[in-house]
Amino acid sequence: MKTLSYAALVGTALALTVGCDTAPIDTTCDTFDTGCDTGTGTEAPLPLLIKDFTWACTNPDNDPDTHDGTWTYYVKTDSWAEGGATLDIKETGSTNGWNESHDLGQLDYDQAGTWDSWGATFDEVSTTAAINNGTTLYRCGYHSSDSLTWMASVYDATNALADCAVQGHNVSVFDGQGPGGANCFGAR
């Protein structure tokens, strides 16, 4: 049987305590993992940021006059977007442009809280009366990044806007709509 001296036990405990309290803060931490990254035994959440924002439109018959296309949107964040995600679309390539707003559904998430993914698929429709969270008036054959501008937004646990990313024809149409009145940026 091995025994440790009192000095060895105190030294080991002191090394563990000092190691935790003096270690640099883990900049990848979030509120969902454990440890004493801040030296207090609790962690401060990192800002919720959009890391990826993509879109695609497919039109099976390649006829721009039909309404059989499908738009797909995908947003990935660097932590949980507990308040959800939304998509705003503005037809900035036209003087009489149409605007739409949609909710994005959660697709997947990391149980440790290190990422979250949101998205939606919208089928094209021919009338404004048919617009909802599963449909869009925009047609693949006529609308693309030279006529549309998209803003993806994610919200934190308090439902406050945490981040937004803008892509498309005229990103300045969303100026000042980011957190605290800041401008939105492209995905990081």
User: Which structure tokens are listed for 48?
Assistant: 């919720």
pLDDT tens digit sequence for 140-151: 877 888 889 999
Q: What confidence tier does 56 reach under pLDDT thresholds 50, 70, 90?
A: very high
Q: Average pLDDT in the 32-36 region?
A: 39
**Measured between alpha carbons, how far is 13 from 166 in angstroms, rounded to an integer?**
51
Output the pTM of the full model: 0.71
Residues of the chain with CATH 2.60.40: 50-181
Which CATH code for domain 50-181?
Answer: 2.60.40
Beta bridge partners of 76: 52, 117
DSSP state of 139: -
